[in-house]
Amino acid sequence: MARGRAAVEVIRDDPSRPSTGLYAAPEALSDALSGRWEYLGTGRWPGINRAHACAFRNDRVLMVNAYCTITETPAFRVDVYSPERGRVRIYAEANGPVSVRTRADYFTFRAESEPRPGPDASLPGVALTMSFEELRAYDRERYAAFLPVCFGGEERHRRQQGCLGPLSTRVDEWGARNRHFLEHASHDWYRLVQQMRDMAVRHGKELN
């Protein structure tokens, strides 16, 4: 990858794009890898104490590397925001840098999905035109709103899965769409982790 460029060209493997149901982790990864990334900024992020976050966008989604550190930590988190589909968060943790480990090495690997807000929601959805500051302000409001989510995966080797509030009846649907990914990860996942790591070396900051 050439240094000094503010964007990177990435090509997704599968041209199909599911458009129904809760936003699933594989779909969010596919969207994140669907085109050229534009760097939006680096700064503090809601709910993160010591690390800075880096944000990017392409023509489908906004993406945030929540632990955008120059020296890699043993935890990795990406948040993907789609104006059309909602939000997906994927978190991995291992005994060492995640980018040089595989799913079998993770003791925590989980995901959560939050639907796009409806037309009457007090908190509107994201827009692809948002700046880093606007996306951070949006996420601060979203973080405080405790919106309903579906979640699952493994937390310190203990399996978990559920849906909160009005999504409680959709737990089986969410599990069916995410279970294989959470058990095995995917090529897209490893590509995105490595891509985020390359960008963190350029745009990240050390823990403080």
Mean pLDDT of the chain: 90
The predicted pLDDT at position 15 comes to 35
- What pLDDT score was predicted for residue 18? 42
Mean pLDDT calculated for residue range 28-37: 97
pLDDT of 6 higher than 80:
no
Number of domains in the chain: 1
Considering the domain boundaries, does residue 80 fall inside one?
yes
Q: Which two tokens stand for residue 54?
A: 């880096």
The DSSP 8-state label assigned to residue 66 in this structure reads S
What pLDDT was estimated at residue 120?
65
- Long-range pairs for 45-53 at CB < 8 Å and ≥24 separation? 45/136, 45/139, 46/136, 46/139, 46/140, 46/143, 47/143, 50/207, 50/208, 51/207, 52/204, 52/205, 53/136
| 13 within domain boundaries | no
Which is more confident, 80 or 142?
80
Confidence of residue 119 (pLDDT cuts 50, 70, 90): low
Flag whether 71 is in a domain.
yes
Name the more confident of 200 and 3.
200
Establish if 10 belongs to a structural domain: no
* pLDDT at 22 exceeding the cut of 80: yes
pLDDT average, residue stretch 145-156: 93
Q: Inform me whether the pLDDT recorded for 9 exceeds 70.
A: no
Residue 97 maps to a domain: yes
pLDDT tens, residue by residue, 151-202: 999 999 999 999 999 999 999 999 999 999 999 999 999 999 999 999 999 9
Domain contains 90: yes
Q: What is the mean pLDDT of residues 114-131?
A: 85
pLDDT score for 122: 76
Element (H, E) at 109: strand 106-115
Q: Are 86 and 23 in contact (CB under 8 A)?
A: yes
Copy the structure tokens of residue 89.
């968060």
Q: What Å distances lie between residue 90 and 4, 14, 31, 114, CA to CA? A: 28, 20, 14, 12
Asked if pLDDT for residue 20 goes beyond 60, the answer is no
Q: Can you give the residue range of the structural domain that contains 64?
A: 22-203
pLDDT, one tens digit per residue, over 93-117 is 999 999 999 999 999 999 999 998 8
Specify if 126 maps to a domain: yes
Phi-psi region of 140 (alpha: psi -120 to 50; beta: other; left: phi over 0): alpha
In a domain, 14, yes or no: no
